[in-house]
């Protein structure tokens, strides 16, 4: 479950990192499949509201949660984001799924207290809940302006294989 970064905003459906990951999973882990339940603009509240239906419909063994960026960009209270992510982790666990939490960072213009707290909440939650954790989805492309679309928020098609390759080492151990 994710937001526009995982939904492939501004890209052809086959170009996004989740679609590329699905191809890799099919090649390297026969019998496993990938369902992209990402929605552009999604907040953690939206994800928390949708997860039960997605779990019932797709019956996953692993759930990757890449949400929170839109909460942060809107300046939503960190405790609200944390509570929504906790609810999603609990729902996934209740459905007997393993969880990969994928973190995000914010631009510094939100102030050091908010940006630091935002980044820390993912690490703290992953540690407390003992779920697999990837600290920052955009790590391999964040410093490369040429990796982004004109909006400077969404990675372009050329960046997507790097994101797939960044997520794979965190996801692969869960596929057993």
Residue 38 annotated to the active site: no
| CA–CA gap between residue 75 and residue 64 (Å, rounded) | 23
CB-neighbour burial class of residue 72 (10 A; exposed 0-12, middle 13-18, buried 19+): buried
Active-site residue, selected from the candidate residues 3, 4, 19, 38: 4
Active-site residue, selected from the candidate residues 19, 71, 154, 166: 154
Beta strands in 56-134 (DSSP E): 62-65, 98-102, 132-134
**Phi, psi (deg, nearest 5) at residue 133:** -145, 130
Residue 124 annotated to the active site: no
Residue 14 annotated to the active site: no
Active-site residue, selected from the candidate residues 113, 145, 146, 151: 151
| CA–CA gap between residue 28 and residue 87 (Å, rounded) | 31
Pinpoint the alpha helices (H) of 108-159: 112-129
Catalytic residues: 4, 151, 154
């Amino acid at each position: 479950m994710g937001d526009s970064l995982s939904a492939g905003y501004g890209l052809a459906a086959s170009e996004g990192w989740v679609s590329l990951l699905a191809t890799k999973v099919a090649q390297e882990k026969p019998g496993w499949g990938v369902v992209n339940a990402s929605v552009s603009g999604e907040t953690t509240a939206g994800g928390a509201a949708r997860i039960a239906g997605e779990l019932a419909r797709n019956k996953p063994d692993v759930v990757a949660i890449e949400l929170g960026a839109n909460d942060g960009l809107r300046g939503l209270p960190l405790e609200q984001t944390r509570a929504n992510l906790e609810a999603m982790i609990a729902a996934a666990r209740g459905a007997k799924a393993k969880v990969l939490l994928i973190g995000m960072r914010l631009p510094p213009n939100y102030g050091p207290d908010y940006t630091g707290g935002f980044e820390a909440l993912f690490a703290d939650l992953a540690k407390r809940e003992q779920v697999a954790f990837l600290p920052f989805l955009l790590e391999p492309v964040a410093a490369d302006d040429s990796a982004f679309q004109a909006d400077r928020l969404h990675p372009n098609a050329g960046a997507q294989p790097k994101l797939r390759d960044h997520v794979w080492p965190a996801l692969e151990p869960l596929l057993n």
